[in-house]
Structure 1
Amino acid sequence: MKIAHLSDLHLLSLEGAVPMRLFNKRMTGYMNLRFHRKSVHKPFAVEAAAAEIRRLGVDHVVITGDVTNLALEVEFELVKKLVEEDLGLTPDQISMVPGNHDTYTRGSFRGKRFFRYFEPYLATDLPEIPGPFPFVRLRGPVALIGLSTAVPRLPLVAAGALRPKQLGALSRVLSHPEVRSRTPILLQHHPWHNPPRLAKTLLEGLYDAKEEAALLHGVERGLLLHGHLHRRIHRTLPTARGHIDAVGATSASLLHESDERMAGFNLYEIDDGSGAIRAITSCKLDPVTKTFSEVPIPKG
């Protein structure tokens, strides 16, 4: 089974960003777009990645959040078009979770904007565990577990949290026989490994990373796929029976001189019979030719 991993699309559109809708946290986001982010995040990179994924004929695509910039409806429409038309897959073959930019304001969070636009990609195969998060999608040798770490924060704060209710549901998911018989693949925006400095963790980390790691302690093997850092990174979470590979994808739209950060996507190969993780690789965009080449994922 081959799985492609996209993250941090940051598709840009300031349509609808009328002054009244900028008098909140969006003001800092708008200034970032106006003077910095728009110069390095390019939609053509995401479109090229979608075309390459389609050419590769993968079995499933996962998208780990920050698909928008300001959580405006027009941005969600852009993402919806890309997912529905460019990837060439059915909703059963695509799983998505939100990032902090997708719940940028309390209005977008309370209105469940991400869920309303992408509900087909959040469908669960375990209805006995109420959603929308975590959702579980049983696909051959794997159990895809979608989590939301996205909560609205004050300006300049991009930290995430799973929170007690979702952590409790995750515990029930991990003990479910359909999940225990498969290789779990957790999808979330924020990584479980926090920055070494507390101040940085408070600004952009995952507040309940330790609680999540405790729940995963009994897992023999699995993947924890994330974004947020805009860089390729591979870390290991030791467990009582083995380990979990925690792998971050770079931003799919980011043009950067570093191989670690240049736009692209990750690929994971899972053995159909045993569920063993056979390969973890990454594809980097050449922005001139719009082609991709394999690059290593740095160990964290």
Structure 2
Amino acid sequence: MPPYRLAHLSDPHLPPPAGALGWRDLGSKRLLSAIAWRRKGSEHQPSVLQALADDVARHAPDHIAVTGDLTNFSSSAEYAAARTWLQTLGAAADVTLSPGNHDALVRAGAPSTFEPWREWLGDTPQVAFPALRERGPLALINLCSATPTAPWLASGRLGEAQLERLTQILTSLAGRDLYRVLTIHHPPAAGVVSGRKALEDAGALRALLAVHEVDLVLHGHAHEAAVSAIPGPQGPIPVLGVPSASAVGGRRHPPARWHSIEFSSDRRIRVVARGLSADTGRFEALGDYVLQAPQRR
């Protein structure tokens, strides 16, 4: 049986459409984000994102995971534009989105509970996190760390309700021969991002995962190719992050990259990194490695 293939990309930071901000936003955190976008927006190019999406499509993965930050200001106009972009990736049943901090920048003027993206968040009629999506040999568990924060902060939080439901989901999967993959925007491993960008209750999440089996955690937010690990009941749990899917690359951050992750029936996980080449301007294989997932008890 061929391996099941999951594509992971993150932080596309789609360009804000006309009318994304109004005069009421001048007194909110959106103004700070708009200033930052004027300074850093050139680092994110739609042509790079399109080239990455085309490369993903050529490899025809079975499923795609997008770990957040589709928008910059979390405005209604951006949500609508992001929905259109999500539709270009594939059917909603074949794409899972975990919202990022920019997708929940402020409460005012933002769609409630990410409703415009509901079909990409989970399989239930109502938006609820964590969302369990069973696809082939995978149990995809979609968490949401996106929450409005004070100015100058880009931190995230899951909250007690999500952590309790995550415990229930993982308990329900006990004894089933499925790869358990968590998707989340903020990295749960310590030291991947600075304190002002960190997951506030990462310690509680790590304590939970030290008891309940998970095979892989995928995140964004760092705009880096991050490889780390957190303790699990049968050994370290791999935690993987990717750079921004629209990044040109330069002094601040590396160019765009995505991961093709292959899950085999022998509990082997092969990760193939594909990134934007500065020499050719095309996406090329940068390398690959294999992770051995623990055998199910």
RMSD of aligned C-alpha atoms? 2.5
Quote the offset at 1:242 in angstroms.
2.4
Quote the offset at 1:94 in angstroms.
0.5
User: What does 1:94-105 align with in structure 2 at a 5 Å threshold?
Assistant: 94-105=95-106
Matched letter for residue 56 of structure 2: I
**Structure 2: tracts of 5 or more residues without a match:** 290-297
Counterpart residue number, 2:161: 165
CA distances 1:33-67 after superposition (whole Å, capped 9, x unpaired): 11x22121111111111111111111000000011
Q: Mean Cα displacement is larger for which, 2-11 or 287-296?
A: 287-296
Given the two structures, how large is their TM-score scaled by the length of structure 2? 0.88
User: What does 1:256-295 align with in structure 2 at a 5 Å threshold?
Assistant: 256-257=249-250, 261-271=254-264, 273-274=265-266, 276-286=267-277, 289-295=280-286
Report the Cα distance in structure 1 between the residues aligned to 2:147 and 2:175, rounded to whole angstroms.
27
Counterpart residue number, 1:132: 128
Query: 1:73 and 2:76 equivalent?
Result: yes
Q: Secondary structure at the match of 1:214?
A: helix
Quote the offset at 1:278 in angstroms.
2.5
Report the Cα distance in structure 1 between the residues aligned to 2:256 and 2:274, rounded to whole angstroms.
8
Report the Cα distance in structure 1 between the residues aligned to 2:244 and 2:288, rounded to whole angstroms.
14
Report the Cα distance in structure 1 between the residues aligned to 2:84 and 2:7, rounded to whole angstroms.
18
Counterpart residue number, 1:19: 23
Report the Cα distance in structure 2 between the residues aligned to 1:188 and 1:42, rounded to whole angstroms.
24
Change (3 A) 1:179 1:294: farther
Counterpart residue number, 1:118: 117
Q: Aligned residues: percent identity?
A: 30
Quote the offset at 1:31 in angstroms.
0.5
CA distances 1:79-101 after superposition (whole Å, capped 9, x unpaired): 2222212x2x2211100010000
Report the Cα distance in structure 1 between the residues aligned to 2:24 and 2:184, rounded to whole angstroms.
31
Report the Cα distance in structure 2 between the residues aligned to 1:179 and 1:135, rounded to whole angstroms.
20
Query: 1:236 and 2:240 equivalent?
Result: no
Q: 1:151 aligns with which of 142, 147, 150?
A: 147
Counterpart residue number, 1:93: 94
Quote the offset at 1:108 in angstroms.
5.1
Q: Is the 8 A contact 1:281 1:297 kept in 2?
A: yes
Counterpart residue number, 1:245: 238
Report the Cα distance in structure 1 between the residues aligned to 2:129 and 2:244, rounded to whole angstroms.
23
Q: Is the 8 A contact 1:220 1:243 kept in 2?
A: no
**Structure 1: tracts of 5 or more residues without a match:** none
Q: Secondary structure at the match of 2:215?
A: strand
Quote the offset at 1:196 in angstroms.
8.5
Matched letter for residue 72 of structure 1: S
Query: 1:56 and 2:59 equivalent?
Result: yes
CA distances 1:21-42 after superposition (whole Å, capped 9, x unpaired): 23200111011111x2212111
Quote the offset at 1:258 in angstroms.
6.8
Matched letter for residue 3 of structure 1: L
Q: Secondary structure at the match of 1:107?
A: coil
Quote the offset at 1:19 in angstroms.
2.2
Report the Cα distance in structure 2 between the residues aligned to 1:240 and 1:14, rounded to whole angstroms.
46
**Aligned structure 1 segments of 4 or more residues deviating by more than 4 angstroms:** 287-290
Report the Cα distance in structure 1 between the residues aligned to 2:30 and 2:185, rounded to whole angstroms.
20
CA distances 1:200-221 after superposition (whole Å, capped 9, x unpaired): 42x1101111111111113455
Report the Cα distance in structure 1 between the residues aligned to 2:66 and 2:110, rounded to whole angstroms.
19
Quote the offset at 1:120 in angstroms.
0.8
Q: Secondary structure at the match of 1:174?
A: helix
Matched letter for residue 175 of structure 1: T
Counterpart residue number, 1:40: 43
CA distances 1:114-138 after superposition (whole Å, capped 9, x unpaired): x22111112237x9xx851000000
Matched letter for residue 218 of structure 1: V
Change (3 A) 1:196 1:91: closer
